[in-house]
Amino acid sequence: MSYVAPVKDMLFNIQHLAKIDQIAQIPGFEDAGLDTAQAVLEEAAKLAEGVLAPLNWEGDKNPSSWKDGVVTATPGFKEAFKQFTEGGWQGLQHPVDFGGQGLPKTIGAVCGEMVNSANMSFALCPLLSDGAIEALLTAGSDELKATYLENLVAGKWTGTMNLTEPQAGSDLAAVRTRAEPQPDGTFKIFGTKIFITWGEHDMAENIIHLVLARVQGAPEGVKGISLFVVPKFMVNKDGSLGARNDVHCVSIEHKMGIKASPTAVLQFGDHGGAVGYLVGQENRGLEYMFIMMNAARYGVGVQGIAIAEQAYQTAVRFSRERVQSRPVDGSVAAGASIIHHPDVRRMLMTMRAYVEGCRAMASVAASAYDAAHHHPDADIRKVNQTFYEFMVPLVKGYSTEMSLEVTSLAVQVHGGMGFIEETGVAQYYRDAKILTIYEGTTAIQANDLVGRKTARDGGQTGKLLAVQIEGTEAELIKSGTPDALAVAKRLKTAREAFVDVVNFVAGNTKASPNAVFAGSVPYLMLAGNVMAGWQMARALLVAQEQIAAGTDVAFMQAKITTARFYADHLLVKAGGMRDSIVDGAECVTALALEAF
């Protein structure tokens, strides 16, 4: 399937909403301004369009395979991964000290979107390595960093996350994998881990598993979980690879989508125990794993945007080519392509608005991450960290749920042809479904938003964001154009609905937890909708200024039209969602259990 990277839209966000020139003033990012962003994005587009996209359908038809413990990737993937790593793409956002390029997330995230749009199954491998690198950078000893990071950053080795077990899905308190301390300071790891993305494959020399396990005698529950590095092959003191460790892939799953990405069942310790190395301190494993999970959750949100973009492009191409019926206004006598039909236009605009809104939201969140981690001013770091943490469940939850709607619409635009595998659009629908599940389901993102991000601070972060949104409304009103005034009206109503829900959540989580959590996912969807709508409103203001300056008028006018559509068709849902959350909580749990 063909793919054209939306470089222009990405650069618009990076320049005007994420403020890349401000990021470039942070020490260490001096060379990471708009010119660098453009050069990097154009190169990423070549890789995504020319190398990765042509392999996507092949991966769906001819998935990774398992035989006698060996997993072989889809034909062409190994060669593509070699091009990916030789181009330095794995190390794009990682520190120069370990061979990375040290670029900001503001640039790296959109490159990740391109890779995922082109081939999501492929992109999962570097995504998991990114998480392993983040965890080791944060909690690994100097020795672990020296042993593993350079090869992980180079992409010579890949990384995995090993959380889930047959009896321990979202409830990690139930983890049973055990770690036995050894006299030499290492540990022997015993247990089974399931759903391990790219847990075994033939694309890299070594696979570095990060594994949650319990040390003997550790406390029960989540407070007794530690994190270990368990390499597939042992690493000798000189850095060369040694003996095979006692970790083996006993099977891979047969899945609805992302078929080219092997999802492994890994067995640790069947032949005496897998050698593991403690990361950080004992019993703090979940804390460290959350570093990986937060990195991955943002990345999965980007996957939602990515697959929605590809679905949108495919639907647009089909709707230009497919001839069916005369338009209702008679503008074309006969033989009209379906893009002339108002309902097809509505579907395409819905897809476009969702994608652009979520991309803008993710771009602004990435910019906050860069400031939070690298800005020299502690107060600025703190403000941006709070903003980023609030946005992560929205980027993950809203963007992935959005991708289901958009990929479904893409099938609908294709009509009966969309139900036929050969058109390719069904794959996007199947692939997208996993995004609302892995790295924490939508409900878990909503629990995070309610508990950690809203109830904990009494709703202060949410209300401070509402104040900023109100400032954008004032700018829209000041602008005075019909589009700006219409968007201001919608944004005001949505903001007020958001504040009502924030107050409801902050005021009732302790006293009436069932009432609040009954509306937790709707709250997540409302918050994501409002934050994406806010960014589209900001984009409209920028686009008006650019048109006044005579800059790329066609693109900027399309941006205004899309922002107006978002406000009139998507942002308007906020009021109804508010009513369901605040007024409709009781009926969610009112039906007697035996009545189901």
Per-residue pLDDT band at 255 (split at 50, 70, 90): very high
Same domain, 458 and 554: yes
Who contacts 549 (Cβ-Cβ below 8 Å, separation ≥6)? Answer: none
Range 109-127 burial, b when 16+ CB lie within 10 A, else e: bbbbbbbbbbbbbbbbbbb
Q: What angle do CA 588, 591, 592 make, to 5 degrees?
A: 140
Task: Say if residue 100 is in the same domain as residue 159.
Answer: no
Residues serving a catalytic function are 439
Q: What is the pLDDT of residue 264?
A: 98
CA distance 489 to 85: 48
Residue 170 has pLDDT above 90, yes or no: no
Do 96 and 203 belong to one domain?
no
How far apart are alpha carbons 407 and 3 in whole angstroms?
A: 15
Domain boundary among 151, 179, 203: 151
- Rounded Cα gap, residues 304 and 134, in angstroms: 22
Last residue of a domain, one of 243, 258, 284: 284
Is the domain of 145 the same as that of 166?
no
Label residue 47 by pLDDT band (50, 70, 90).
very high
First to last CA, the chain: 44
- Determine the Cα–Cα distance for residues 549 and 559; give it in Å rounded to an integer: 15
How far is it, in rounded angstroms, from Cα 152 to Cα 159?
7
Residues 40 and 142 in one domain: yes
263 within some domain: yes
Tell me: pLDDT of 1 over 80. Answer: no
**In this structure, which amino acid lies at residue 89?**
W
Q: Is residue 300 part of a domain?
A: no
Does residue 114 share a domain with residue 163? no
Q: Check which CATH number belongs to the domain holding 31 and give it.
A: 1.10.540.10
Number of compact structural domains in the chain: 3
User: Is there a single domain that holds both residue 239 and residue 227?
Assistant: yes
Residues 11 and 104 in one domain: yes
Residues 508 and 568 in one domain: yes
Beta bridge partners of 268: 191, 247
Say whether both 140 and 210 belong to one domain.
no
Check residue 261 and give its pLDDT: 98
What is the DSSP track for 196-219? EET-S-SSSSEEEEEEEEEETTPP
Centroid of chain to Cα 582: 29
Residue 432 domain-assigned? Answer: no
Q: Report the SS3 class of residue 267.
A: strand
242/194 same-domain check? yes
Cβ atoms of residues 114 and 45 within 8 Å: yes
Band (pLDDT 50/70/90 cuts) for residue 76 is very high
pTM: 0.97
Answer for the pair 29, 370: CB distance below 8 angstroms, yes or no: yes
User: Does residue 503 lie in a domain region?
Assistant: yes
For residue 183, report the phi and psi dihedrals to the nearest 5 degrees.
-60, -30
Q: What is the mean pLDDT of residues 30-54?
A: 98
Cα gap 272→250, rounded to integer Å: 16
Contact yes or no for 141/167 (Cβ under 8 A): no
Does 101 map to a domain? yes
pLDDT at 245: 98
Of the three residues 240, 269, 284, the one that is the final residue of a domain is 284
Q: Among candidates 429, 174, 147, 132, which has minimal Cα distance to 299? A: 132
What is the extent of the structural domain holding 453?
443-589
- CATH assignment of the domain containing 205: 2.40.110.20
- Model confidence at 289: pLDDT above 90: no
Model confidence over 562-586: pLDDT tens digits? 999 999 999 999 999 999 999 999 9
Q: Predicted confidence band at 331 (pLDDT cuts at 50, 70, 90)? A: confident
Report pLDDT for 328: 87
Distance CA 28, CA 431 (A): 37
Whether residues 85 and 161 fall in one domain: no
Q: What is the pLDDT of residue 94?
A: 97
pLDDT at residue 369 is higher than 80: yes
